[in-house]
Chains A and B, each alone.
Chain A
Amino acid sequence: MNSHTVKAFDNDIGRLRGLISQMGGLAEEAIAKAMQALTRNDLELADQVRAEDKRIDALEAEVERLAVQIIALRAPMAVDLREVVAALKIAGLVERIGDYAKNIAKRLPMIDGEHRIEPISILPAMGRMASDMVRQVLDAFAARDAEAAVRVCESDSALDDFYDSIFRTLVTFMVENPKTISQVAHLLFVAKNLERVGDHATNVAEMVYFAATGTQMTDRDRGGPQE
Protein backbone atom coordinates (compact mmCIF):
# COMPACT_ATOMS: atom_id res chain seq x y z
CA MET A 1 0.00 0.00 0.00
CA ASN A 2 1.26 3.49 -0.82
CA SER A 3 2.20 5.67 2.11
CA HIS A 4 0.15 8.68 3.21
CA THR A 5 1.23 12.17 2.23
CA VAL A 6 1.01 12.93 5.96
CA LYS A 7 3.61 10.57 7.43
CA ALA A 8 2.26 10.76 10.97
CA PHE A 9 -0.92 9.10 9.69
CA ASP A 10 1.13 6.06 8.60
CA ASN A 11 2.76 5.99 12.01
CA ASP A 12 -0.62 6.01 13.77
CA ILE A 13 -1.99 3.18 11.64
CA GLY A 14 1.26 1.26 12.09
CA ARG A 15 1.08 1.64 15.85
CA LEU A 16 -2.55 0.50 15.88
CA ARG A 17 -1.67 -2.61 13.90
CA GLY A 18 1.32 -3.25 16.13
CA LEU A 19 -0.86 -3.16 19.24
CA ILE A 20 -3.27 -5.69 17.73
CA SER A 21 -0.42 -8.04 16.82
CA GLN A 22 0.96 -7.69 20.32
CA MET A 23 -2.45 -8.51 21.85
CA GLY A 24 -2.82 -11.48 19.53
CA GLY A 25 0.59 -12.83 20.46
CA LEU A 26 -0.24 -12.61 24.16
CA ALA A 27 -3.64 -14.28 23.66
CA GLU A 28 -2.14 -17.13 21.67
CA GLU A 29 0.52 -17.60 24.33
CA ALA A 30 -2.12 -17.49 27.08
CA ILE A 31 -4.02 -20.40 25.52
CA ALA A 32 -0.85 -22.44 25.12
CA LYS A 33 0.24 -21.75 28.71
CA ALA A 34 -3.23 -22.49 30.12
CA MET A 35 -3.29 -25.85 28.35
CA GLN A 36 0.25 -26.59 29.46
CA ALA A 37 -0.71 -25.77 33.06
CA LEU A 38 -3.69 -28.10 32.74
CA THR A 39 -1.73 -31.06 31.40
CA ARG A 40 1.14 -30.60 33.88
CA ASN A 41 -1.11 -29.58 36.74
CA ASP A 42 1.09 -26.49 37.09
CA LEU A 43 -0.84 -24.11 39.37
CA GLU A 44 1.93 -21.52 39.29
CA LEU A 45 1.74 -21.29 35.50
CA ALA A 46 -2.05 -21.01 35.78
CA ASP A 47 -1.63 -18.03 38.11
CA GLN A 48 0.74 -16.48 35.63
CA VAL A 49 -1.87 -16.81 32.85
CA ARG A 50 -4.42 -15.05 35.05
CA ALA A 51 -1.99 -12.25 35.87
CA GLU A 52 -0.91 -11.74 32.28
CA ASP A 53 -4.49 -11.29 31.12
CA LYS A 54 -4.31 -7.80 32.59
CA ARG A 55 -1.73 -6.89 29.97
CA ILE A 56 -4.14 -7.91 27.21
CA ASP A 57 -6.88 -5.81 28.81
CA ALA A 58 -4.54 -2.82 29.02
CA LEU A 59 -3.61 -3.20 25.34
CA GLU A 60 -7.26 -3.31 24.39
CA ALA A 61 -7.81 0.00 26.18
CA GLU A 62 -4.79 1.40 24.32
CA VAL A 63 -6.21 0.27 20.96
CA GLU A 64 -9.54 1.92 21.77
CA ARG A 65 -7.87 5.16 22.76
CA LEU A 66 -5.69 5.27 19.66
CA ALA A 67 -8.53 4.30 17.30
CA VAL A 68 -10.76 7.06 18.65
CA GLN A 69 -7.87 9.50 18.34
CA ILE A 70 -7.25 8.51 14.71
CA ILE A 71 -10.92 8.89 13.85
CA ALA A 72 -11.09 12.29 15.54
CA LEU A 73 -7.82 13.74 14.28
CA ARG A 74 -7.24 12.12 10.90
CA ALA A 75 -10.76 11.46 9.60
CA PRO A 76 -9.74 8.16 7.97
CA MET A 77 -11.44 7.18 4.73
CA ALA A 78 -11.98 4.02 2.71
CA VAL A 79 -9.39 1.33 3.54
CA ASP A 80 -8.02 3.39 6.45
CA LEU A 81 -11.48 3.73 7.95
CA ARG A 82 -12.10 0.01 7.56
CA GLU A 83 -8.78 -0.77 9.22
CA VAL A 84 -9.55 1.41 12.22
CA VAL A 85 -13.06 0.02 12.63
CA ALA A 86 -11.74 -3.53 12.21
CA ALA A 87 -8.96 -2.86 14.75
CA LEU A 88 -11.54 -1.72 17.31
CA LYS A 89 -13.61 -4.87 16.87
CA ILE A 90 -10.63 -7.21 16.65
CA ALA A 91 -9.19 -5.80 19.90
CA GLY A 92 -12.48 -6.63 21.64
CA LEU A 93 -12.48 -10.16 20.22
CA VAL A 94 -8.86 -10.86 21.12
CA GLU A 95 -9.50 -9.57 24.63
CA ARG A 96 -12.29 -12.16 24.91
CA ILE A 97 -9.95 -14.87 23.65
CA GLY A 98 -7.61 -13.89 26.49
CA ASP A 99 -10.51 -14.19 28.92
CA TYR A 100 -11.18 -17.75 27.77
CA ALA A 101 -7.55 -18.67 28.43
CA LYS A 102 -7.82 -17.04 31.85
CA ASN A 103 -11.01 -18.95 32.53
CA ILE A 104 -9.27 -22.24 31.69
CA ALA A 105 -6.48 -21.33 34.12
CA LYS A 106 -9.01 -20.49 36.83
CA ARG A 107 -10.52 -23.99 36.66
CA LEU A 108 -7.24 -25.72 37.38
CA PRO A 109 -7.54 -25.80 41.20
CA MET A 110 -10.95 -27.46 40.83
CA ILE A 111 -9.45 -30.33 38.87
CA ASP A 112 -7.68 -32.94 41.01
CA GLY A 113 -4.09 -33.13 39.92
CA GLU A 114 -3.23 -36.14 42.13
CA HIS A 115 -5.56 -38.57 40.44
CA ARG A 116 -5.24 -37.67 36.80
CA ILE A 117 -8.44 -38.33 34.99
CA GLU A 118 -7.90 -39.85 31.60
CA PRO A 119 -9.85 -37.43 29.32
CA ILE A 120 -7.36 -34.63 30.10
CA SER A 121 -5.05 -36.23 27.57
CA ILE A 122 -7.30 -35.38 24.60
CA LEU A 123 -7.69 -31.70 25.41
CA PRO A 124 -4.20 -30.41 24.46
CA ALA A 125 -4.75 -31.32 20.80
CA MET A 126 -7.90 -29.19 20.80
CA GLY A 127 -5.96 -26.40 22.53
CA ARG A 128 -3.31 -26.48 19.80
CA MET A 129 -5.99 -26.32 17.15
CA ALA A 130 -7.58 -23.27 18.79
CA SER A 131 -4.30 -21.43 19.29
CA ASP A 132 -3.28 -22.26 15.70
CA MET A 133 -6.44 -20.53 14.52
CA VAL A 134 -5.55 -17.48 16.62
CA ARG A 135 -2.03 -17.40 15.19
CA GLN A 136 -3.23 -17.88 11.61
CA VAL A 137 -5.85 -15.17 11.85
CA LEU A 138 -3.29 -12.72 13.22
CA ASP A 139 -0.94 -13.60 10.37
CA ALA A 140 -3.82 -12.92 7.98
CA PHE A 141 -4.38 -9.59 9.74
CA ALA A 142 -0.71 -8.64 9.51
CA ALA A 143 -0.60 -9.54 5.80
CA ARG A 144 -4.06 -8.04 5.09
CA ASP A 145 -4.72 -11.42 3.45
CA ALA A 146 -8.44 -12.01 2.81
CA GLU A 147 -7.89 -15.53 1.47
CA ALA A 148 -5.97 -16.59 4.57
CA ALA A 149 -8.86 -15.18 6.63
CA VAL A 150 -11.30 -17.36 4.70
CA ARG A 151 -9.13 -20.42 5.44
CA VAL A 152 -9.30 -19.64 9.17
CA CYS A 153 -13.09 -19.56 8.99
CA GLU A 154 -13.11 -22.88 7.17
CA SER A 155 -10.96 -24.51 9.84
CA ASP A 156 -13.46 -23.56 12.54
CA SER A 157 -15.76 -26.43 11.59
CA ALA A 158 -12.96 -28.93 12.38
CA LEU A 159 -12.67 -27.38 15.84
CA ASP A 160 -16.45 -27.60 16.29
CA ASP A 161 -16.35 -31.29 15.31
CA PHE A 162 -13.53 -31.81 17.79
CA TYR A 163 -15.64 -30.21 20.50
CA ASP A 164 -18.64 -32.40 19.71
CA SER A 165 -16.52 -35.51 19.93
CA ILE A 166 -14.90 -34.41 23.22
CA PHE A 167 -18.34 -33.59 24.58
CA ARG A 168 -19.57 -37.13 23.88
CA THR A 169 -16.40 -38.63 25.30
CA LEU A 170 -16.64 -36.60 28.51
CA VAL A 171 -20.33 -37.31 29.02
CA THR A 172 -19.67 -41.03 28.55
CA PHE A 173 -16.82 -40.81 31.02
CA MET A 174 -19.04 -39.07 33.61
CA VAL A 175 -21.73 -41.69 33.23
CA GLU A 176 -19.17 -44.40 33.82
CA ASN A 177 -17.35 -42.58 36.64
CA PRO A 178 -19.94 -40.61 38.59
CA LYS A 179 -17.38 -39.64 41.26
CA THR A 180 -15.49 -37.54 38.73
CA ILE A 181 -18.52 -35.58 37.53
CA SER A 182 -17.62 -32.23 39.10
CA GLN A 183 -14.05 -32.40 37.77
CA VAL A 184 -15.00 -33.57 34.31
CA ALA A 185 -17.67 -30.87 34.17
CA HIS A 186 -14.81 -28.39 34.44
CA LEU A 187 -13.04 -30.14 31.59
CA LEU A 188 -16.23 -29.78 29.59
CA PHE A 189 -16.04 -26.03 30.19
CA VAL A 190 -12.40 -26.04 29.15
CA ALA A 191 -13.41 -27.66 25.87
CA LYS A 192 -16.27 -25.21 25.48
CA ASN A 193 -13.86 -22.31 26.07
CA LEU A 194 -11.57 -23.59 23.33
CA GLU A 195 -14.53 -23.94 21.01
CA ARG A 196 -15.44 -20.30 21.75
CA VAL A 197 -11.85 -19.24 21.05
CA GLY A 198 -12.33 -20.69 17.57
CA ASP A 199 -15.59 -18.75 17.14
CA HIS A 200 -13.86 -15.53 18.12
CA ALA A 201 -10.92 -16.24 15.80
CA THR A 202 -13.54 -16.70 13.06
CA ASN A 203 -15.06 -13.31 13.90
CA VAL A 204 -11.59 -11.76 13.76
CA ALA A 205 -11.13 -13.38 10.35
CA GLU A 206 -14.37 -11.79 9.17
CA MET A 207 -13.07 -8.36 10.20
CA VAL A 208 -9.74 -9.01 8.48
CA TYR A 209 -11.66 -9.91 5.34
CA PHE A 210 -13.83 -6.80 5.62
CA ALA A 211 -10.84 -4.50 6.16
CA ALA A 212 -9.02 -5.99 3.18
CA THR A 213 -11.89 -6.16 0.70
CA GLY A 214 -14.57 -3.73 1.87
CA THR A 215 -17.23 -6.44 1.70
CA GLN A 216 -18.63 -8.91 4.19
CA MET A 217 -17.48 -12.50 3.98
CA THR A 218 -20.30 -14.62 2.59
CA ASP A 219 -21.05 -18.32 3.01
CA ARG A 220 -19.96 -18.73 -0.58
CA ASP A 221 -16.52 -17.30 0.26
CA ARG A 222 -16.00 -19.84 2.99
CA GLY A 223 -17.15 -22.72 0.84
CA GLY A 224 -20.43 -23.04 2.69
CA PRO A 225 -23.87 -23.69 1.22
CA GLN A 226 -24.26 -22.01 -2.17
CA GLU A 227 -27.14 -19.59 -2.60
Chain B
Amino acid sequence: MPKNLKMTARNVSVSYGSKLAINDVSIDVDQDEVTAFIGPSGCGKSTFLRTLNRMNDTVASAKVTGDIKLDGHDIYAPDMDVVQLRARVGMVFQKPNPFPKSIYENVAYGPRIHGLAGAKSDLDRIVEKSLRRAGLWDEVKDRLTDSGTALSGGQQQRLCIARAIAVDPEVILMDEPCSALDPIATAKIEELIHELRGRYAIVIVTHNMQQAARVSQKTAFFHLGTLVEYGNTSDIFTNPHEERTKDYITGRYG
Protein backbone atom coordinates (compact mmCIF):
# COMPACT_ATOMS: atom_id res chain seq x y z
CA MET B 1 0.00 0.00 0.00
CA PRO B 2 1.10 3.61 -0.54
CA LYS B 3 4.18 4.69 1.33
CA ASN B 4 3.83 8.40 1.04
CA LEU B 5 0.21 9.23 1.76
CA LYS B 6 -1.13 12.52 0.45
CA MET B 7 -4.84 11.95 0.92
CA THR B 8 -6.74 9.32 2.83
CA ALA B 9 -10.44 8.57 2.67
CA ARG B 10 -12.05 6.39 5.32
CA ASN B 11 -15.59 5.02 5.25
CA VAL B 12 -16.78 7.74 2.91
CA SER B 13 -20.42 7.67 1.85
CA VAL B 14 -22.19 10.20 -0.34
CA SER B 15 -25.91 10.52 -0.88
CA TYR B 16 -27.95 12.78 -3.08
CA GLY B 17 -31.19 13.14 -1.14
CA SER B 18 -32.27 9.57 -0.44
CA LYS B 19 -30.07 8.04 -3.14
CA LEU B 20 -26.80 6.56 -1.91
CA ALA B 21 -24.15 7.30 -4.56
CA ILE B 22 -21.04 6.18 -2.67
CA ASN B 23 -21.13 3.54 0.01
CA ASP B 24 -18.37 3.21 2.58
CA VAL B 25 -15.29 3.81 0.44
CA SER B 26 -11.82 3.85 1.94
CA ILE B 27 -8.81 4.62 -0.22
CA ASP B 28 -5.33 6.14 -0.04
CA VAL B 29 -3.79 8.53 -2.54
CA ASP B 30 -0.03 8.44 -2.73
CA GLN B 31 1.99 11.61 -3.21
CA ASP B 32 4.21 10.13 -5.90
CA GLU B 33 1.70 8.13 -7.88
CA VAL B 34 -1.07 8.54 -10.37
CA THR B 35 -4.26 6.94 -9.10
CA ALA B 36 -6.94 6.02 -11.64
CA PHE B 37 -10.64 5.50 -10.89
CA ILE B 38 -12.43 3.26 -13.35
CA GLY B 39 -15.91 1.79 -13.52
CA PRO B 40 -19.10 1.86 -15.55
CA SER B 41 -21.21 5.00 -15.86
CA GLY B 42 -23.03 5.81 -12.66
CA CYS B 43 -20.66 3.77 -10.49
CA GLY B 44 -19.83 6.83 -8.39
CA LYS B 45 -16.23 7.35 -9.43
CA SER B 46 -16.75 11.02 -10.38
CA THR B 47 -18.86 11.63 -7.30
CA PHE B 48 -16.08 10.23 -5.16
CA LEU B 49 -13.44 12.30 -7.00
CA ARG B 50 -15.48 15.40 -6.27
CA THR B 51 -15.46 14.70 -2.55
CA LEU B 52 -11.69 15.07 -2.56
CA ASN B 53 -11.88 18.85 -3.00
CA ARG B 54 -15.43 19.31 -1.76
CA MET B 55 -16.94 20.01 -5.15
CA ASN B 56 -20.08 18.27 -3.89
CA ASP B 57 -20.59 21.24 -1.54
CA THR B 58 -22.07 23.02 -4.53
CA VAL B 59 -24.81 20.38 -4.84
CA ALA B 60 -27.47 21.23 -2.27
CA SER B 61 -28.82 17.69 -1.86
CA ALA B 62 -25.39 16.04 -1.53
CA LYS B 63 -24.43 14.73 1.89
CA VAL B 64 -20.93 13.43 2.55
CA THR B 65 -20.07 11.31 5.58
CA GLY B 66 -16.85 9.66 6.60
CA ASP B 67 -13.37 10.97 6.90
CA ILE B 68 -11.20 12.55 4.17
CA LYS B 69 -7.81 13.89 5.08
CA LEU B 70 -5.23 15.91 3.20
CA ASP B 71 -1.82 15.61 4.85
CA GLY B 72 -3.61 14.31 7.91
CA HIS B 73 -6.05 17.23 8.18
CA ASP B 74 -9.77 16.64 7.84
CA ILE B 75 -10.87 18.59 4.76
CA TYR B 76 -14.48 18.66 5.99
CA ALA B 77 -13.48 20.21 9.33
CA PRO B 78 -15.29 23.49 10.13
CA ASP B 79 -12.06 25.46 10.09
CA MET B 80 -11.12 24.28 6.60
CA ASP B 81 -11.11 27.14 4.08
CA VAL B 82 -12.77 25.62 1.01
CA VAL B 83 -11.27 28.16 -1.39
CA GLN B 84 -7.84 27.37 -0.02
CA LEU B 85 -8.57 23.65 -0.22
CA ARG B 86 -9.48 23.88 -3.90
CA ALA B 87 -6.24 25.74 -4.56
CA ARG B 88 -4.35 22.88 -2.94
CA VAL B 89 -6.48 20.23 -4.62
CA GLY B 90 -7.02 21.43 -8.18
CA MET B 91 -9.39 20.03 -10.74
CA VAL B 92 -9.48 19.53 -14.49
CA PHE B 93 -12.81 18.69 -16.07
CA GLN B 94 -14.09 16.55 -18.88
CA LYS B 95 -14.68 19.38 -21.30
CA PRO B 96 -11.99 22.03 -21.52
CA ASN B 97 -13.49 25.13 -19.94
CA PRO B 98 -11.10 28.06 -20.33
CA PHE B 99 -12.36 31.47 -19.23
CA PRO B 100 -13.38 33.67 -22.16
CA LYS B 101 -10.27 35.68 -21.61
CA SER B 102 -6.74 35.75 -22.96
CA ILE B 103 -4.42 32.77 -22.60
CA TYR B 104 -2.33 34.81 -20.20
CA GLU B 105 -5.33 35.80 -18.06
CA ASN B 106 -6.56 32.22 -17.88
CA VAL B 107 -3.37 31.20 -16.14
CA ALA B 108 -2.79 34.43 -14.21
CA TYR B 109 -6.27 34.55 -12.69
CA GLY B 110 -5.70 31.99 -9.95
CA PRO B 111 -2.33 33.22 -8.69
CA ARG B 112 -3.71 36.78 -8.67
CA ILE B 113 -6.82 36.05 -6.56
CA HIS B 114 -4.80 33.84 -4.24
CA GLY B 115 -2.23 36.58 -3.86
CA LEU B 116 0.62 34.39 -5.02
CA ALA B 117 2.19 37.08 -7.19
CA GLY B 118 2.92 40.64 -6.12
CA ALA B 119 4.63 42.20 -9.09
CA LYS B 120 3.79 41.80 -12.77
CA SER B 121 7.14 40.11 -13.29
CA ASP B 122 6.23 37.45 -10.69
CA LEU B 123 2.98 36.82 -12.50
CA ASP B 124 4.76 36.59 -15.86
CA ARG B 125 7.09 34.03 -14.38
CA ILE B 126 4.26 31.93 -12.93
CA VAL B 127 2.36 32.05 -16.25
CA GLU B 128 5.40 30.92 -18.21
CA LYS B 129 6.30 28.20 -15.72
CA SER B 130 2.75 26.85 -15.65
CA LEU B 131 2.41 26.87 -19.42
CA ARG B 132 5.78 25.15 -19.74
CA ARG B 133 4.79 22.44 -17.25
CA ALA B 134 1.55 21.97 -19.13
CA GLY B 135 3.53 21.51 -22.33
CA LEU B 136 1.81 24.45 -24.00
CA TRP B 137 4.36 27.28 -23.78
CA ASP B 138 6.03 26.77 -27.14
CA GLU B 139 2.70 26.70 -28.92
CA VAL B 140 1.28 29.87 -27.36
CA LYS B 141 4.22 32.04 -26.24
CA ASP B 142 3.81 34.42 -29.17
CA ARG B 143 0.08 34.89 -28.73
CA LEU B 144 -0.56 35.08 -25.00
CA THR B 145 -3.11 37.82 -25.55
CA ASP B 146 -5.26 35.68 -27.85
CA SER B 147 -8.44 34.29 -26.39
CA GLY B 148 -8.10 30.95 -24.58
CA THR B 149 -11.24 29.73 -26.33
CA ALA B 150 -9.57 30.18 -29.74
CA LEU B 151 -7.19 27.29 -29.04
CA SER B 152 -7.81 23.74 -30.22
CA GLY B 153 -9.56 21.33 -27.83
CA GLY B 154 -6.33 19.63 -26.78
CA GLN B 155 -4.61 22.98 -26.29
CA GLN B 156 -7.57 24.25 -24.28
CA GLN B 157 -7.33 21.21 -22.00
CA ARG B 158 -3.62 21.80 -21.48
CA LEU B 159 -4.46 25.46 -20.78
CA CYS B 160 -6.87 24.25 -18.09
CA ILE B 161 -4.11 22.09 -16.64
CA ALA B 162 -1.77 25.11 -16.71
CA ARG B 163 -4.48 27.08 -14.94
CA ALA B 164 -4.79 24.36 -12.31
CA ILE B 165 -1.06 24.16 -11.64
CA ALA B 166 -0.57 27.96 -11.62
CA VAL B 167 -1.81 28.13 -8.02
CA ASP B 168 0.82 25.57 -7.03
CA PRO B 169 -1.56 22.79 -5.97
CA GLU B 170 -0.52 19.62 -4.19
CA VAL B 171 -3.11 17.33 -5.73
CA ILE B 172 -4.65 17.47 -9.21
CA LEU B 173 -7.97 15.77 -9.81
CA MET B 174 -8.83 15.01 -13.42
CA ASP B 175 -12.34 14.02 -14.39
CA GLU B 176 -12.22 12.35 -17.82
CA PRO B 177 -9.67 14.89 -19.08
CA CYS B 178 -9.32 13.32 -22.52
CA SER B 179 -12.83 12.23 -23.37
CA ALA B 180 -13.37 15.23 -25.64
CA LEU B 181 -9.94 15.03 -27.28
CA ASP B 182 -8.53 13.27 -30.35
CA PRO B 183 -5.84 10.56 -29.94
CA ILE B 184 -2.90 12.90 -30.53
CA ALA B 185 -4.14 15.46 -28.00
CA THR B 186 -4.91 12.54 -25.66
CA ALA B 187 -1.34 11.26 -25.99
CA LYS B 188 -0.02 14.73 -25.15
CA ILE B 189 -2.16 14.89 -22.00
CA GLU B 190 -1.01 11.41 -21.01
CA GLU B 191 2.61 12.39 -21.53
CA LEU B 192 1.91 15.49 -19.45
CA ILE B 193 0.44 13.38 -16.64
CA HIS B 194 3.64 11.34 -16.75
CA GLU B 195 5.73 14.54 -16.54
CA LEU B 196 3.69 15.93 -13.65
CA ARG B 197 3.85 12.75 -11.64
CA GLY B 198 5.93 13.16 -8.52
CA ARG B 199 5.45 16.93 -8.46
CA TYR B 200 1.73 16.57 -7.77
CA ALA B 201 -0.38 13.70 -6.52
CA ILE B 202 -2.72 12.96 -9.43
CA VAL B 203 -6.10 11.28 -9.39
CA ILE B 204 -7.77 10.63 -12.72
CA VAL B 205 -11.22 9.36 -13.55
CA THR B 206 -11.39 7.70 -16.94
CA HIS B 207 -13.73 5.55 -18.96
CA ASN B 208 -10.84 4.46 -21.10
CA MET B 209 -9.32 1.43 -19.40
CA GLN B 210 -6.29 1.48 -21.64
CA GLN B 211 -5.69 5.03 -20.50
CA ALA B 212 -5.89 3.99 -16.85
CA ALA B 213 -3.44 1.19 -17.64
CA ARG B 214 -1.08 3.58 -19.41
CA VAL B 215 -0.99 6.52 -16.99
CA SER B 216 -1.56 5.18 -13.50
CA GLN B 217 0.35 3.22 -10.89
CA LYS B 218 -2.72 2.50 -8.76
CA THR B 219 -6.17 1.66 -10.04
CA ALA B 220 -9.45 1.63 -8.18
CA PHE B 221 -12.50 -0.11 -9.66
CA PHE B 222 -15.89 1.26 -8.60
CA HIS B 223 -19.20 -0.47 -9.14
CA LEU B 224 -22.65 0.58 -7.91
CA GLY B 225 -21.18 3.05 -5.47
CA THR B 226 -18.74 0.67 -3.84
CA LEU B 227 -15.00 0.30 -4.22
CA VAL B 228 -14.69 -3.24 -5.54
CA GLU B 229 -10.93 -3.50 -5.89
CA TYR B 230 -7.97 -1.21 -5.42
CA GLY B 231 -4.36 -2.11 -6.12
CA ASN B 232 -1.33 -1.79 -8.34
CA THR B 233 -2.37 -1.02 -11.89
CA SER B 234 -0.24 -3.83 -13.28
CA ASP B 235 -2.00 -6.32 -11.00
CA ILE B 236 -5.49 -5.01 -11.73
CA PHE B 237 -4.98 -5.36 -15.47
CA THR B 238 -3.18 -8.71 -15.49
CA ASN B 239 -4.60 -10.53 -12.50
CA PRO B 240 -7.55 -8.86 -10.78
CA HIS B 241 -8.92 -10.75 -7.80
CA GLU B 242 -12.56 -9.75 -7.67
CA GLU B 243 -14.97 -11.39 -10.09
CA ARG B 244 -16.64 -8.06 -10.90
CA THR B 245 -13.29 -6.46 -11.70
CA LYS B 246 -12.38 -9.37 -13.99
CA ASP B 247 -15.65 -9.08 -15.86
CA TYR B 248 -15.36 -5.32 -16.27
CA ILE B 249 -11.69 -5.29 -17.28
CA THR B 250 -12.12 -8.04 -19.83
CA GLY B 251 -15.31 -6.63 -21.34
CA ARG B 252 -17.64 -9.24 -19.87
CA TYR B 253 -19.51 -6.78 -17.69
CA GLY B 254 -23.29 -7.00 -17.49
Partner-B contacts on A (CB < 8 A)? 1-6, 9, 75-82, 214-215
Q: Which of B239, B246, B249, B252 contacts A5 (CB 8 A)?
A: B252
CB neighbours (8 Å) of A78 from chain B are: 237-240, 245-246, 249-250
Structural contact, B252 and A2, CB atoms closer than 8 A: yes
Known: A77-B238, A80-B250. 20 other contacts (CB 8 A): A1-B252, A2-B247, A2-B252, A3-B252, A4-B251, A4-B252, A5-B251, A5-B252, A9-B251, A76-B250, A77-B209, A77-B251, A78-B240, A78-B245, A78-B246, A78-B250, A81-B237, A82-B238, A214-B238, A214-B239
- Indicate whether B16 reaches chain A with its CB closer than 8 angstroms: no
Instruction: List 19 interface pairs A-B (beta carbons < 8 Å), by A numbering.
Output: A1-B252, A2-B247, A2-B252, A4-B252, A5-B254, A6-B251, A76-B250, A77-B237, A77-B238, A77-B250, A78-B240, A78-B249, A78-B250, A79-B246, A79-B250, A80-B251, A81-B238, A82-B238, A82-B239
A-B contacts, CB under 8 A, total: 41
Interchain CA distance A2-B253 in the complex, whole Å: 8
Structural contact, B238 and A75, CB atoms closer than 8 A: no
CB neighbours (8 Å) of A80 from chain B are: 250-251
- Indicate whether B210 reaches chain A with its CB closer than 8 angstroms: yes
Structural contact, A215 and B249, CB atoms closer than 8 A: no
Closest to A213 in B: B239
CB neighbours (8 Å) of B240 from chain A are: 78
Closest to A82 in B: B238
The 5 A-B residue pairs whose C-beta atoms are closest, nearest first, are A214-B239, A2-B252, A77-B249, A78-B249, A80-B250
Partner-A contacts on B (CB < 8 A)? 209-210, 213, 237-240, 245-247, 249-254
CB neighbours (8 Å) of B251 from chain A are: 4-6, 9, 77, 80
Interchain CA distance A9-B249 in the complex, whole Å: 14
Closest to B247 in A: A2
Interface of A, secondary structure class, is loop
Interchain CA distance A133-B238 in the complex, whole Å: 28
Structural contact, B253 and A5, CB atoms closer than 8 A: yes
Interchain CA distance A215-B241 in the complex, whole Å: 12
Q: In angstroms, how far is the closest chain A Cβ from the Cβ of B32? A: 25
Q: In angstroms, how far is the closest chain A Cβ from the Cβ of B22? A: 25
CB neighbours (8 Å) of B249 from chain A are: 77-78
Interchain CA distance A9-B251 in the complex, whole Å: 9
Interchain CA distance A81-B251 in the complex, whole Å: 12
Structural contact, B238 and A4, CB atoms closer than 8 A: no
Interchain CA distance A1-B246 in the complex, whole Å: 10
Interchain CA distance A78-B246 in the complex, whole Å: 7
CB neighbours (8 Å) of B237 from chain A are: 77-78, 81
Q: In angstroms, how far is the closest chain B Cβ from the Cβ of A214? A: 3
Q: In angstroms, how far is the closest chain B Cβ from the Cβ of A57? A: 30
Structural contact, B239 and A215, CB atoms closer than 8 A: yes
Interchain CA distance A6-B240 in the complex, whole Å: 20
CB neighbours (8 Å) of A4 from chain B are: 250-252
Interchain CA distance A2-B238 in the complex, whole Å: 17
Closest to B213 in A: A77
Interchain CA distance A203-B25 in the complex, whole Å: 42
Interchain CA distance A133-B239 in the complex, whole Å: 28
Q: In angstroms, how far is the closest chain A Cβ from the Cβ of B250? A: 5
Interchain CA distance A79-B210 in the complex, whole Å: 15
CB neighbours (8 Å) of B246 from chain A are: 78-79
CB neighbours (8 Å) of A76 from chain B are: 250
Interchain CA distance A153-B252 in the complex, whole Å: 32
Closest to B235 in A: A214
* Interface core residue of B239, B245, B253 (most chain A CB under 10 Å): B239
Closest to B240 in A: A78
Interchain CA distance A78-B112 in the complex, whole Å: 47
CB neighbours (8 Å) of A1 from chain B are: 252
Interchain CA distance A136-B166 in the complex, whole Å: 63
